[in-house]
A and B are shown apart, each in its own frame.
Chain A
Amino acid sequence: MAIDDKKVKEFEDNYREKLFNSFRTISLNQSKVFAATEKIRRENNLITDLPNIGITLNNKLVQLQHEFENVGISIYLEKTENCKEIKLNYIGEAVLLDLIRYARNGIESSNEYQEKFDLIVTKKLKKIHGREDDSAITKVFTKMKRTLVPLKQKDLLFTQKEIQTINQTLSSYKDVDNQLWNYNLRSNVVSSITKKIREQKCSANEVPKLLEESVIPDLQKLGLADLIPELQRTLVEEYKKDLPASEIYQISKKDMHLYVPDFNRETKHTEKTTEELHKQEQMIIEQEETTQTMNASLKQEGITLEDFSVIDSEVSALDRQKMINMISNEQKTEKNEGENLVLKEDKKLGEEGGNISL
C-alpha cells in the first residue's frame, strides 16, 4: 500500500523543522561565545569580524534546497510513485552530512578558541586577584600589593604570542565558515557522495546499482550528468585503497567486482543473447524477491539479515575455521560409527547366514 502524500509531506516538514531548529541552537551558542569576548578582542586587536557558522549552515542549506526544488526534487526526501516507504534523498543526505561536517569543524575551532582565550584571561586575572587556592592571608596581601602597586596596562593586554595563538584559531574558524559558504554542487557533490558511500560501508558490488537507482537520476535532473564519470572514477580509486597487498592475496579478475565497483559489468554481458539476458534478469529478480521474503520472515522472528552480517563481522576467521574442523570431525566420527554399526550388523547377519556388505 502506497504511503499517503499528506503523510510524506508531514514527515518532510517535521524533519526540516528539526534540522533548522538545531541550526538555530548552533547559531545562538556561537553568538554567545563571541559576544562574551568581543570587548577584550577589540582591546587586544584580535580578529573581530567573525561570522556565525550556525547562520551560514542555515543559509547554505536553504540555498541548496531551492536548487533541488527548481528541478522538481526534494533535498530531503526521495519521492517515488506508489512509494511504500519514506526514504531520504540520497544526494540530499550526502550533501547535508558534508555541510554538518564543515559546521562541526567550525564549532571545534570555536571551542579551541574559547579554551585558549579562557586560559590566557585566567592567567591574567590570577595576577590581579591571586590564585583561588591561595590562603586567605595571601589573598589579602595580594590585594594590598595591587592597591599600592597598581598593575600596568601592559600586564592586562595580550602579548604578541598570545594574540598570534588566538588569531590562529579564529582564522581557522573563519576558513571553515568560508568553505561552508562556498560549497556548491558542481565542485563538491562528487566528494560528498563518495564520503557517504564509504561511511555506510557499501559493498563494492552494490555500488553500481546504488548509483543507478538513487544517484544518477537526480544528478541528471540537477544538470550534473557530466559528473557521473568523475564520480565513478573517484569511487573506483577509493575502493582500490582497500585491496589487500598482492603478496598476501591476489584478487582475480573474476572476483575484482566484489572489491572495486565495476560500472562496466553490464556492458560486458551484452555479448549474450536476448534470451540469456532475460534469463539473467529473471534470476536477479527472483534472488531479490527471495532475499526480501527471507528478510521478512527473519524480521517476524526478531532477526534481520543485517543482524547476521553484524555478528559475522565480529567473528574471527580462525574461530570459524576451528568450528568447521570440529564439525567435520564430528561428522567423520558419526560416519565411522555408522559404518562400524553396518559392518557389525552385517557380520551378525553373516553369522546367521545373511550377505556381508562393505
Chain B
Amino acid sequence: MKSKIPQSFFEFVNKNKSETYCPNFDMDFPLKEQKLMRETKVILSLIYRSYLCDEDTKRKLEIDDIIEIRTKYSYENLFKKLN
C-alpha cells in the first residue's frame, strides 16, 4: 500500500503534523467503526481517491463531487433556503 503513496506526501505530512497530538485508534476494530475526527476522514478520503482506488472509481468520484456541489450549492437551492 505504501508503495502507491508517493514519498512527497509522507514528507508533507511529517512537515505539517502536530508533535503534541495523540491519535486514538484501536486497531482491534475496523477503521469504519471507529470515531474519527472530521478532518481525519477527509484526509483518508483524499488518500483513497488520490492513491488507492482504480481509475474508473476515481473518475466517478470526481464527477459525483461536481454533481454534489452543483446540486447542494446551486443558486436555486441557496435562494430556496433564504425563502
Residues of A whose CB lies within 8 Å of any CB of B are 203, 205, 244, 248-249, 251, 255, 257-259, 287, 291, 294, 297-298, 301-312, 314-321, 323-324, 327, 330-331, 334
Contacts and interface: CB of A to CB of B under 8 A. Distances in A.
Contact of B42 (A244, A248, A320): A320
B80 interface: no
Q: Is the interface of A mostly helix, strand, loop or mixed?
A: helix
Interface string B37-74: 01101111111110011101101110111111111111
B44 A258 contact: no
Given A308-B45, A308-B47, A317-B64, 18 more contacts: A248-B71, A249-B70, A255-B59, A258-B60, A259-B60, A297-B1, A301-B27, A302-B28, A307-B32, A308-B31, A310-B32, A312-B49, A317-B66, A317-B72, A320-B42, A320-B65, A321-B65, A327-B12
Contacts of A307: 30-32
Given A287-B54, A302-B27, A310-B32, A249 B49 contact: no
Given A251-B63, A311-B41, A317 B69 contact: yes
Given A302-B30, A303-B31, A309-B48, A316 B68 contact: yes
Interface of B: 1, 4, 12, 15-16, 27-32, 36, 38-39, 41-49, 52-54, 56-57, 59-61, 63-74
Contacts of A318: 69, 72-73
Contact of A311 (B4, B28, B44): B44
